[in-house]
Structures are given as structure tokens and as C-alpha cells.
Amino acid sequence: MNQDTNMDYRRLMTKMVNVIAHDVRNPLNNILLSTAQFKGESLPDKEDTAFYIDIIERSCDRVNSLLEEIIGIIHPPGLNPDTFDLTEVVKELLQENEDRLELKEVKVVPTLNEVVVAHFDRAMVKQALFHVLENAIDASGKGMSIAVSVQQDGDTAKIIIADEGGGINEDTMPHIYAPFYTSKERHKGLGLALADNVIAAHLGSMRHTNTEKGTEVVVSMPLHV
């Protein structure tokens, strides 16, 4: 391992440790505070017990989700492909994010008329596209639009998500798929890295380019894997 590679590795490990320390410590503190309620002489009543158990369960889910994300970065995901209409999956994704879009007053301009039958891992592809859409929503301000389309180009499925959020900084662009790299507060920098892994596992590619108004992301995958 040369000096530059060693430095990059150490930076990556430092970022990973910092993310784990921050994102695990908070739910662990919640668990400790909740379990402490059951150690006193007077135990919580039924309603309070349910409240503290809910905190413990949600905190465990947060830790488990973080570990699954890190494992997804380190190990290529195993696929469980099925045949489905990719356009319907994208429609579901938009519907599930309606509240968030309305809260930010961001409009979606969909072109989702084409039936694109694909043989992918449905859950993984949907999760990958969620991370791409999430970035577009985060980049968008009040009154902006996000264009979303699904199309078939020969034996390839293409999903295009374009925002008006001003684009990606030139210094940031080369690093956007690197795990734990982020320019945003309260972000772990795992979303696009996970999405890139999933798309690569489907023998596809993801391309980010700056446009006049923002960023366009083109996800391309062969229809059958």
C-alpha cells in the first residue's frame, strides 16, 4: 500500500468511526435511559412501559439500519430478482415521498407513461432510487421542480431524475459515490454509495451531470440480470 493509498484508507476509516460513534451513541443513550426506568423501586405503569419499550425498539432499529448500510457498502449485495414494471415502482416511490415534497413545496414533473418490464431485485432498486430522489429533494428549494422519467432504450432501462437545485460543486463531484463523503450536515454520506453498489450489482451505471439549473442523474441498467 503506497503512502497516498494509505492516507485515503485512514481518512475513510476515520470517517466511518466518526459516523458509527455519532449514530450509535445517540440510540444507545436512549436505550440506557429507558432501561433505567425499570431499575427503581417503583416500576412504570402499563402506558409508560409501552412508551419506553417503543423507544428501545426504535433505537435498536436505528442501530441495525446503520449496520446494514455499512455492510451494504463493504460487501456487494446479493440479489433476489423478480419481474415487475419499473415505472410502477417509481410511482410508488414518489407517492411515499409526497409529504416530504409538499413540506418543501417542491413539485414533481413526471413522465411515467411507459411500461418498462424489468427483472431486478425490486426492493434493492427501489431503495437505490430512493437515495437518488432524496438527494434531489434535499437540493431543491421552495417552488422548484424535479423531473422524473422512466424509459426503455433497447434492452436497457433508464431512470432520469433532474432537479433545479443549482448543481454539484466541481470539487465535490469526483467524490459523490465515495462512502462517508458528504458536504451536508446530519448526513452520513452513505446514500449514493449504497445506490451505486446496488446499480453496479445489476450491471448498470449511474451518472451525475450538472445542468443549467441543477443536477441530472441517469441510472441505466440492463432489463434482465
- pLDDT tens, N- to C-terminus, the chain (225 residues): 455 445 555 665 666 666 676 667 778 888 998 898 888 767 788 888 989 898 999 888 878 777 777 776 666 667 889 999 999 999 999 999 999 899 899 999 999 999 999 999 999 899 899 989 998 998 899 999 999 999 999 999 999 999 999 888 888 788 777 776 666 555 556 788 888 888 998 999 999 999 999 999 999 999 987
Which distant-in-sequence residues (6+ apart) come within 8 Å of 113 by Cβ? 87
Return the pLDDT at 62: 78
Domains and CATH numbers, the chain: 3-74 (1.10.287), 82-222 (3.30.565.10)
pLDDT of residue 68: 74
184 neighbors 135 (Cβ within 8 angstroms): no
